[in-house]
Structure 1
Amino acid sequence: MSGPDGKTAQYARNMRLIGHCDQGGRSDGTQIMVADGFAYVAHIFSQGFSVLDVRDPTRPKTIRHIAAPANTWTLHLQQADGLLLVVHAQDQFRRADIRHEADYYKADTRDTGKSTATGQRDYSAGMAVYDLSDPADPRQIGFMAVNGIGLHRIWYVGGRWAYASAQLEGFSDFILITIDMADPTRPEIVGRFWLPGMNIAAGEVPDWPLERGRYSLHHPIVHDDIAYCGWRDGCLVIVDLADKSAPKLLAHRNWAPPFGGGTHNCLPLPDRDLLVVVDEAVLDNGEDGDKPIWLFDIRDKTNPVSISTLPKPSDRDYLAVGGHFGPHNIHENRPGSFVSSSLIFSTWQNGGLRIHDISDAYAPREVGAFVPHAPARHVDPRPDRPLVINTTDVFVDKAGLIYFTDFSGGGLHIAEFTG
């Protein structure tokens, strides 16, 4: 198999590629949502998000790009109930003090984008709401502004409530917010939750070493009024959301150190009382430590217990490839998508897309893989980045088709599992 053309693979096991798209030349991709024959792909470097027609998954095509405001990240989005919710936050990679990725994970995320002359921000912070009555042509109908860096990632599966991570003025990093979507043209924050020590404005003092890492909510996944939160170097946090205005801590587990931390996704599998917890690899060549995908027993939500980890890709030495090797994201079993409590679809950056069977929760095993070729050119404008793949996000539709993006510029791949 040869060629960085999107049509072949460096390595494949029980997977078959059926479609590829360069996203209209904006081939960097972060979060992806697929619904009603259209894919919505957020970008990290290409300043906005794109709409792709995937009604024929063998011939996906880009039909629209919606640009972000100046200096603004719109790198995560959610689709449900005919709405598309898109984050707005300061584009951190355009900051002068964040030239390399390691700087981002040590940065002071408190507001640095205000003009000293005007007191105004030079970026947009909050959440944009789009109407998808025409799924090919999102139309903005609302915006929820926040005072701070902005939002990072949202959880919204329809109905009245959305949940997100937000960096608000006065807090040390991103915290949990609950959002009332009763009027989608005017979303409103009604509740906030943070770990003790994060409310700097209230005089709280962190009890963790600030120089060691980020105590920062990546995002929650919510089921039955319980939020399962990846709190980066704070690791796993479980929050009771029965009262949307006053969330309450149920459990906090931290394994960093000795492990690397950087917790990204916490996916509950309610029918099995299991929780899949992903630690994101964020530095090159494994420099940020061991980042597993964990399985927890959550029969007692106040006492989550780790019972196993998913095996890491072993078909080659991916640490020797360069760039990031390790987990980034998983398919999150959204309503209306493919939902499974035995198959876990995960992205491993330079290790491609992997599928694990966790039917035996104490002995997970890899059953599928697809590793694309490196992209032909860089989209990442940062200095000294290796030209390698970075398989980033994954969405599996109801029919079982697997859509996965590439942070570094590999475009959108669409594949099926043949195992």
Structure 2
Amino acid sequence: MTMQSLPTPEYSHNMRLIGHSDQGGKPDGVQVMVHRSYAYIGHMVSQGFSIVDVRDPKKPRSAGFVPAPPGTWNVHLQAHDDLLLVINARDLFADVRFADEKVYYTRSVSETVQGTQQRGWSAGVRIFDISVPDQPKEISFLGLDGIGVHRIWYVGGRWAYVSALIDGYSDYIFLTIDLADPRNPQVAGRWWLPGMHTAGGETPDWPEGKRYALHHAIISGDTAYASWRDGGLTLLDIKDRSAPQLISHRNWSPPFGGGTHTALPLPDRDLLVVLDEAVLDNQEDGEKLIWLFDVREPSNPVSISTFPQPGERDYVSKGAHFGPHNLHENRPGSFISSTLIFATYQNAGVRAYDISNPYQPKETGALVPAAPATMMDKRPGRPQVIQSCDVFVDAQGIIYSTDYNGGLSIIEYLG
């Protein structure tokens, strides 16, 4: 693809678009991992995952697609060393009951799907050998009962960590996975918020219209920093991977709108970046923020500031979701910084922030990609508006961002 044919971003400041890919005609993207100069992209609609060769980021080249089993989505994945871990879960957005997003985001998933007789999907984690980056070979499958896995944290070594909706629970909970033998993965431990274990007789004590569910946890040392959507933030002690223990729990919803999605530890500074995802159109779920917490005392995390919000236009009325979605997660081998933070802001694109002064985060760059050329999201009434979803920054500082419909944007940071 030549530079001339790049889509023109709607807005940019200290960032420029250098490459774009329609991911082999499947421009719907959720999580992206760039590993050994190949991008692995989980899809929201195209059941499976794509591989894009980004050895030359200005000329990305589609390098393959691996279909998911029938009825299954592969929205999230993790790559490290020679392994690629891909989630398998029921394709919920293909279910007519979730055509209205509110149903997905404002009540427990198990409540909506209970009574499903046919098990027409795969649930668990599929593990691939990617020693040849564009030829993933499946080596094992960790099968689970229930809806399946939403997201994984895996950065090498023996342990992976997943959010999984297994039978007997109201929604996604925290599981530790033992990969001592990657060809024979095993569930080792689990933890959930009280009220979620319905089969154990627990009943929810949270308000109607709130969804308590683990989005995912990021691990630093022996602590898991876990985001529970409307259930807030937990710090878990996982020294014993088979028996996670609660260190602290914070929830600021209400008064804020919930949707806690990502908690990124910055261990060298005793800080934690915590992002609340905007999940409904036109800010119907309230203003969503990126928070900075001081976690010097893990038993008492304290919010000390919020990141500035995009202000160059009225994004609320632009349509679709306005607000944070995800952070670049400082994975080993990628760009790692405890002062420069990258986030996606859905209809306000990709944002960079300087948090050198933790009490006054500053925006230092932004790029809002062009509206998607086509709509892959077939749910009725979805507006044709950019929804920058995930962001990954490689060791050279090149930014890769996905969109539900708009393909892969490859961006240079000029700040």
> Do they fold alike, i.e. is TM over 0.5?
yes
| Alpha-carbon distance in 1 for matches of 2:108, 2:171 | 8
Shift of 1:14: 0.5
- Superposition pairs of residues 103-182 of structure 1, within 5 angstroms: 103-110=103-110, 112=113, 116=117, 120-182=118-180
| Alpha-carbon distance in 1 for matches of 2:386, 2:5 | 12
Deviations 1:17-61 (A, max 9, x none): 111111111001000000111000110011110000000111001
Would you say 1:397 and 2:394 are equivalent positions?
yes
- Superposition pairs of residues 167-206 of structure 1, within 5 angstroms: 167-206=165-204
**Residue type of the partner of 1:270?**
P
Shift of 1:73: 1.3
Check the 8 A contact 1:353/1:391 in 2, yes or no.
yes
Q: TM-score, normalised by structure 1?
A: 0.96
SS of structure 2 residue aligned to 1:320: helix
Deviations 1:191-225 (A, max 9, x none): 0001111111111122112x221110000000011
**Residue type of the partner of 2:185?**
P
Over the matched positions of the two proteins, sequence identity in percent amounts to 58
SS of structure 1 residue aligned to 2:152: strand
SS of structure 2 residue aligned to 1:381: coil
Match in the other structure for 2:406: 410
Shift of 1:6: 4.2
Gaps of at least 5 residues in structure 2 are none
| Alpha-carbon distance in 2 for matches of 1:270, 1:336 | 17
Q: CA RMSD in A?
A: 1.3
- Superposition pairs of residues 59-98 of structure 1, within 5 angstroms: 59-98=59-98
Shift of 1:106: 2.9
| Alpha-carbon distance in 1 for matches of 2:346, 2:110 | 28
Check the 8 A contact 1:110/1:170 in 2, yes or no.
no
| Alpha-carbon distance in 1 for matches of 2:255, 2:106 | 18
Shift of 1:115: 6.0
Match in the other structure for 2:277: 280
| Alpha-carbon distance in 2 for matches of 1:233, 1:39 | 31
Check the 8 A contact 1:240/1:247 in 2, yes or no.
yes
Match in the other structure for 1:235: 232
Q: TM-score, normalised by structure 2?
A: 0.97
Deviations 1:346-398 (A, max 9, x none): 00000000000000000001000001110111110000111000000000000
**Residue type of the partner of 2:94?**
R
Match in the other structure for 1:31: 31
| Alpha-carbon distance in 1 for matches of 2:414, 2:299 | 39
**Residue type of the partner of 1:242?**
K
Match in the other structure for 1:44: 44
Check the 8 A contact 1:115/1:122 in 2, yes or no.
no
| Alpha-carbon distance in 2 for matches of 1:107, 1:266 | 22
Shift of 1:272: 0.5
Deviations 1:391-411 (A, max 9, x none): 00000000110000111x111
Shift of 1:170: 0.3
Check the 8 A contact 1:7/1:19 in 2, yes or no.
no
200 and 114 in structure 1: CA distance in 2 versus 1, 3 angstrom threshold:
closer
| Alpha-carbon distance in 1 for matches of 2:110, 2:188 | 22
Match in the other structure for 2:215: 218
Match in the other structure for 2:377: 380
SS of structure 2 residue aligned to 1:349: coil
Gaps of at least 5 residues in structure 1 are none
Shift of 1:69: 1.2
Shift of 1:114: 7.2
Check the 8 A contact 1:132/1:138 in 2, yes or no.
yes
| Alpha-carbon distance in 2 for matches of 1:74, 1:11 | 31
| Alpha-carbon distance in 2 for matches of 1:107, 1:298 | 30
Check the 8 A contact 1:172/1:200 in 2, yes or no.
yes
| Of 217-226 and 97-106, the range deviating more from structure 2 | 97-106
115 and 375 in structure 1: CA distance in 2 versus 1, 3 angstrom threshold:
closer
Match in the other structure for 1:15: 15
Check the 8 A contact 2:107/2:210 in 1, yes or no.
no
SS of structure 2 residue aligned to 1:102: helix
SS of structure 2 residue aligned to 1:179: strand
- Superposition pairs of residues 285-304 of structure 1, within 5 angstroms: 285-304=282-301
